[in-house]
Amino acid sequence: MTDFYLTLPSSVKNPQFENTSSRYVTHLPEVLHLERDKYVVAATDVIYPYSFVNVGRPLSYWIHMKNGPPLHVTFPAAQYSALDQIIDSLNYEPPRRRKNRLKRRAPLNPEDIDIVSTMEWSKSHKRAKRETDSEREERLRQEAIDENIAAFRAEQEAEEQEAKEIQAVIDENRDAERIAREEEEREEKKRRDEIAKIKAETEEVENEQEEEVDEGDAAYIKENENAFDAVIAENVNAHQNYLDAIREGIESAERDEQEMIETNEKTTSDAKTIANLMDEYYVAAARVAIKSTDETTYNLEKQKFEMIRKRMPTTDIKNANEFLYFIERDGRIHVDFLDPDIMFIEFETACAYFLGFHDPIVRKSGVAPSKVDLFGNVSTIYLYCDIVDPVIVGDQKNQLLSVIPCRGKYGEMIHHTIPHPRYLPIMNNTIDSIRVEMLSEFAEPIQFNWGSTIVVLHFKKIK
């Protein structure tokens, strides 16, 4: 057998693997015994439904302010067929509100402009122009550090005030305990004095009337002594119950006090952790905002900043209408910064690519360098197969079998025949199952909403 074909549909069931249209495993009805040094394989045909949307999952972007944590905004998943739909989704507002916003952003009347303020701003702006990159970086870093120090001092003062309140509660509990102990000692002394007095009076009466006491009197005294002892025992028990209640109250207050102290210590520790993280965040943000002229250094700074941002507490907002405004300009997206406190915008890589931004960091109002890619993250389909030897793909080695360009329109079934199949060596001598994956250029599974896929493989013997 010099060559043969295998047809692999995604609709075949597999009890060991949850097959989908973009990832599936096919168990062959019989094991293929091939000599790996003598056979090669290639994909010749791929059939797939154009049922994936150009934004298959919610995409994220963050608004980084000069003060405060980042603001997180979500760009919804959908099939966007025109630039207007994308802009409407980014602005998240009906057209009539957009008109009002444009009216609010109309040019100022020259009579309303403060000439003195404008001149002062111009002078300061010229001074700022003379600053070097290192001076700007140092100034921004120092401003961030000063703001963090002020925030930390405010937190420290709040912690000191809370500690004073806790100490006041502790002192109050100690006073209550001391008063209870003094009361207990007074009651005990009073009880001992009463017992001693009664015993003394009893002994005196007994001494005076010892000879006159008859059997009836002795019985009467004995009877009264028993009754007296019962009364004393009852009083002692009542007093003991009172002391136990006081002791329980003191112990409960001490437990509450300990819990309050532990909670305060944890809050203080969390506040210090967040304060330290904020320091790291502002320094990293300043480096990204300035942008190093060396591309390698800049990429490393972006990676470090992204790692710090992932640990930062963020504020989720439904839309960015108060901070950003998007419009169409020359067939591309133009973003307007509405808040002067915005340091920069950080787009998720897939989001930046879809919107036409080459750099995920946008530092000022401006237009995207490229037009929106309405194919989204699926302009090409990367076909992987686990039976071939890994090949070099960019900076990695993967089992990439072929690359399929996307064609057609949403809702169509696409049949792509590869004009020049690329044959690759097989990995093993025996093949009992084949795994197929269709991924985007960001290594994410293609999100087919309906329909199944089919891949045709051609095995041939090396001559």
The continuous run of DSSP H or E covering 64 comes out as strand 59-65
Residue 334 near residue 326 (C-beta atoms within 8 A):
yes
φ, ψ for residue 138, nearest 5 deg: -65, -40
Say if residue 110 is exposed, middle or buried (CB neighbours under 10 Å; 0-12, 13-18, 19+): exposed
Residue 369 near residue 385 (C-beta atoms within 8 A):
no
Q: Calculate helix-pair angle for 215-290, 133-208, nearest 10 degrees.
A: 180
**Which amino acid, 19?**
N
Residue 441 near residue 382 (C-beta atoms within 8 A):
yes
pLDDT at 266: 66
pLDDT at 56: 79
The continuous run of DSSP H or E covering 168 comes out as helix 133-208
Half-sphere exposure of 289 (CA within 13 A, CB side): 24
* ∠ CA 67-72-78, rounded to 5°: 155
Residue 92 near residue 80 (C-beta atoms within 8 A):
no
pLDDT, block means (10 residues), the chain with 463 residues: 92 90 95 92 96 86 91 91 91 55 44 46 49 63 68 71 75 75 80 76 66 58 65 71 76 77 66 77 91 92 92 90 94 95 94 93 95 80 95 91 89 93 94 95 87 96 87
Residue 52, token pair as written in the block: 């994936």
Q: Whole-angstrom Cα distance, residue 459 to residue 36?
A: 11
**CA distances to 60, 87, 192, 252, 442 from 346, in Å:** 9, 18, 81, 52, 18
Helix (H, G, I), strand (E, B) or coil at 210: coil
Residue 383 near residue 438 (C-beta atoms within 8 A):
yes
Say if residue 118 is exposed, middle or buried (CB neighbours under 10 Å; 0-12, 13-18, 19+): exposed
pLDDT at 223: 63
**DSSP assignment of 302-333, as one string?**
HHHHHHHHHHS--EE-S--TTTEEEEEETTEE
Q: Whole-angstrom Cα distance, residue 7 to residue 418?
A: 15
pLDDT at 454: 97
Residue 91 near residue 321 (C-beta atoms within 8 A):
yes
Q: Whole-angstrom Cα distance, residue 105 to residue 79?
A: 31
Q: Whole-angstrom Cα distance, residue 167 to residue 171?
A: 6
**CA distances to 69, 162, 280 from 156, in Å:** 20, 10, 19
Say if residue 124 is exposed, middle or buried (CB neighbours under 10 Å; 0-12, 13-18, 19+): exposed
pLDDT at 148: 63
The secondary structure of residue 33, as a DSSP letter, is: E
The radius of gyration of the chain's CA atoms, rounded to the nearest angstrom, is 41
The continuous run of DSSP H or E covering 120 comes out as helix 115-129
The secondary structure of residue 230, as a DSSP letter, is: H
Residue 241, token pair as written in the block: 């119950």
Strand 400-405 relative to strand 424-425, pairing: unpaired
Helix (H, G, I), strand (E, B) or coil at 256: helix
Beta-carbon count within 10 A of 306 CB: 16
**Which amino acid, 95?**
P
Placement of tokens 């690329």 in the chain = 422
Beta bridge pairs of residue 32: 431
Q: Whole-angstrom Cα distance, residue 305 to residue 282?
A: 9
Q: Whole-angstrom Cα distance, residue 356 to residue 369?
A: 6
pTM beyond 0.85: the answer is no
For residue 383, give the nearest of 276, 456, 449, 311 by alpha carbon: 456
pLDDT at 397: 92
* ∠ CA 257-260-263, rounded to 5°: 150
196: Cβ contacts below 8 Å, ≥ 6 apart: none
> DSSP 3-state helix, strand, coil percentages of the chain (rounded to 5)?
45, 25, 30
